[in-house]
């Protein structure tokens, strides 16, 4: 079975590609190695995947006719590639191009695949809006360009199911943490600055924000479990995360506990569009995917610190 993973050199995409390969599938990856964050980290992820026998196409989904570059016998597509997160350095055009147009180009390619069994869109809890504690049928109220464009991408994918062109589903992920996390994300930055005895920039009031911090292996468990379940997943939206919630302050304290030191905080102005609360409602994932995340926050942080010290 041949599987294509977009955004394969990124955080979650690289872990998913690696897991799929370990399950015996023929995995191909694609990534544009964007400079949105340090390309050296993506190259490190790429090196790991190449060592596992996973080929990586260095391609931007917006640049070319994908059917001329990718195989025509792909059976599953896991679509991670996107302009991620909420960043003042990213414009609306960045989000539009990389989340909406790139998805449309990939879907055009997918329509030409005669053996495609399932197109899996990787969505986000940001689609729900400032609070994300709901079941999947809740009306979306995204409060950022990221959430708005990810919702649009999700709908483009699910449109294919509604028109019975090919089977598709969307997985909305919640606050993923662990080894290979992007450098601008909370835990990687906390670990980095903590080890350097430098202050961590904390958005005003965000210490009280609530998050479903979910360890990467638990997230990947849910993602790869879709294989073979396309008859029941067609057209579905499924939350993937943990139903445990922690404050940002508890996350900081977990890193301090593992590092054995106090991290100085530098309070900076609030960030527009930042979610106030996320708590994954995973009843549907438990029912359809037999999903059961188990890793505690402290265990996740310990593994991320070990990875960071080994690589940086």
Q: Which residues are catalytic, by number? A: 146
DSSP 5: E
**CA gap 79, 109 in Å, rounded:** 13
Which residue blocks in 52-144 are alpha helix, DSSP H? Answer: 92-95, 102-111
Who's near 29: CB < 8 A, 6+ residues apart? 4, 5, 6, 8, 9, 13, 14, 17, 49, 54, 55, 56, 57
Strand duo 246-247 + 210-211: pairing: antiparallel
Half-sphere exposure of residue 302: CA atoms within 13 angstroms, side-chain side: 6
**CA gap 64, 72 in Å, rounded:** 16
**CA gap 118, 115 in Å, rounded:** 9
Strand duo 210-211 + 237-240: pairing: unpaired
**CA gap 311, 63 in Å, rounded:** 32
**CA gap 10, 98 in Å, rounded:** 14
Reading the block at residue 190, the tokens are: 């906390």
């Amino acid at each position: 079975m041949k599987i294509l993973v977009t955004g394969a050199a990124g955080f979650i995409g690289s872990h998913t590609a690696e897991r799929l390969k370990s399950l015996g599938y023929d995995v191909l990856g694609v990534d544009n190695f964007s400079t949105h964050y340090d390309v050296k980290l993506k190259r490190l992820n790429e090196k790991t995947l190449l060592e596992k026998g996973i080929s990586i196409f260095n391609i931007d989904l917006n640049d070319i006719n994908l059917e001329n570059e990718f195989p025509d016998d792909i059976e599953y597509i896991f679509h991670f590639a996107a302009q991620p997160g909420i960043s003042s350095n990213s414009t609306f055009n960045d989000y539009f191009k990389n989340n909406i147009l790139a998805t449309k180009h990939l879907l055009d390619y997918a329509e030409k695949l005669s053996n495609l069994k399932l197109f899996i869109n990787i969505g986000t809890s940001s689609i729900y809006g400032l609070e994300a504690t709901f079941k999947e049928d809740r009306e979306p109220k995204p409060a950022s360009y990221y959430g708005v464009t990810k919702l649009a991408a999700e709908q483009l994918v699910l449109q294919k199911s509604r028109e019975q062109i090919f089977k598709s589903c969307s997985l909305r992920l919640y606050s993923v943490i662990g080894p290979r996390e992007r450098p601008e994300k909370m835990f990687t930055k906390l670990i980095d600055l903590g080890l350097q005895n430098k202050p961590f920039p904390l958005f005003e009031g965000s210490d009280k924000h609530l998050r479903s911090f979910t360890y990467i292996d638990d997230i990947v468990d849910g993602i790869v479990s879709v294989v073979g379940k396309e008859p029941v997943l067609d057209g579905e939206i499924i939350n993937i995360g943990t139903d445990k919630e922690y404050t940002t302050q508890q996350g900081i304290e977990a890193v301090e506990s593992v590092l054995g030191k106090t991290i100085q905080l530098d309070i900076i102005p609030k960030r527009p569009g930042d979610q106030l609360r996320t708590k994954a409602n995973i009843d549907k994932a438990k029912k359809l995917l037999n999903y059961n995340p188990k890793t505690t926050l402290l265990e996740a942080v310990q593994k991320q610190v070990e990875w960071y010290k080994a690589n940086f």
